[in-house]
Amino acid sequence: MAAPQKTARSCAVYMMTQILSEGRLMAELSQSGAMEGLSPADRARAQRLTMDTLRALERADRILSKFMRKAPPLYVQNVMRLATMELCTGGDAHGIVNDAVNLVAGNKRAQAFKGMVNAVLRKVADKGPQEWTILRMPRLPKWLRAPLVSAYGPEKVAQFEAVHFQSPPLDITVKNNAHLDELAETLDGEIILGGSVRLKNPGQVSTLPGFDAGDWWVQDAAAALPVRLLGDIAGKTVLDICAAPGGKTMQLAAAGAQVTALDVSEHRLKRVHENLERTDLKATVIAQNALEHNGSYDIILLDAPCSATGTIRRHPDLPYSKDGAKFTQLFQLQSDLIDHAVSLLNPEGLLVYCTCSLFPDEGECQIEDALVRHKNMAPHPVNYDGLDIPKECLTQEGGLRITPDLLFDKGGLDGFYIAVLRKNS
């Protein structure tokens, strides 16, 4: 018997099962061929179905629990979770239920549950949509929520969760800022934070005007801020540490800097090469452990390895692939990278430290400790004019704390911490 044909729904169920049982990431699954054989449109749909179900997992489970005495095996449970999300958000009941039953029937280990799946999902189709709208906002896992509540308070974290529940818009960075207004109009986008273009319904990215020409690249507006805080850097020598996939490298190169892009992963650097080629921008690209790199630079941008907890709005798989157990190792690595970066800075040079993390341990605390260790480093005054950044984002040690709920009514932002330090001697 021929293997069942891959569909967007079957791939979504497979990816959910891998994420929830093996702790794998969507990016890893995509690169390993989980959606191989699907058309570009179906690949996009499979990713959307997976992400939307993970965002709504708590709601789906609460609704299903009303019609089941106990949870079925994980594969069957994920088929039902996906179907519940679709049924409760306006999907066609007949097609969704039939597909769910067929997915279970086509799996030898799950076949015995097809009658139960049919019966339960028909009840969900009847009563689920009304329940869906009154359930609480899905919460982060306890291991992650507890330290965030400690840092920001329960009301602020609830706002984070509300942003995480939304499908995020797409932000792009423009290669030539002189064309910012023109490109925003062409793409029917909105300029945010003074320099990024936000698209609410972009469709397939590679088909948008200006993509093939390299006029812009995808980059969350918060992630674009570290380079934009530097101002005029034309002719400066810049080391971009942990550069892949290359968004900040392209920003630096487009601003006229002499850029060295450094990353430990040769595989990830392939994306940097591809992006530089598409945008016709130049940088020296090196695969190397940053702690082993030597040289001297006017500016060092350290986008340090971190928990990535600030990116959950775009990557709802993250809370299920981590449990916080290895974060202490990350904290030490960040500290080591800061110390090495300082040693590579020219006198009067600038160090930009940033992480896409919501944990103060990976942001504010790192800079506070670094300023104690390095008496020749001090916060560098930054001009925030035109960036539309609220004053409450400025932190005591001189950094900038971006949280997901900023621009809430426009789709939020990635959580980010940024600090700019100057070497005095």
Q: Which residues are catalytic?
A: 356
| Contact between 236 and 227 (Cβ < 8 Å) | no
Report the first-to-last Cα separation within the chain, whole angstroms: 73
**Residue 235, SS3 per DSSP:** coil
Q: Please, which residues have CB within 8 angstroms of residue 69's CB and are 6 or more apart in sequence?
A: none
For residue 168, CA distances in Å to 27, 132, 164, 226, 367 come to 17, 20, 8, 21, 30
For residue 121, CA distances in Å to 78, 100, 105 come to 12, 9, 15
**Residue 296, SS3 per DSSP:** coil
- d(Cα 410, Cα 83) in Å, to the nearest integer? 28
- d(Cα 28, Cα 40) in Å, to the nearest integer? 18
- d(Cα 108, Cα 259) in Å, to the nearest integer? 54
Give me the sign of the Cα torsion angle 14, 17, 21, 26.
positive
Give the H/E segment covering residue 275: helix 266-279
Closest-CA residue to 99 (of 109, 86, 89): 86
Burial (Cβ within 10 Å: 0-12, 13-18, ≥19) of residue 280: exposed
Instruction: Find the angle CA(224)-CA(256)-CA(344) to the nearest 5 degrees.
Output: 80
Q: Please, which residues have CB within 8 angstroms of residue 73's CB and are 6 or more apart in sequence?
A: 109, 110, 113
For residue 199, CA distances in Å to 185, 187, 203, 278, 333 come to 11, 7, 9, 21, 35
Phi, psi (rounded to 5 degrees) for 287: -95, 110
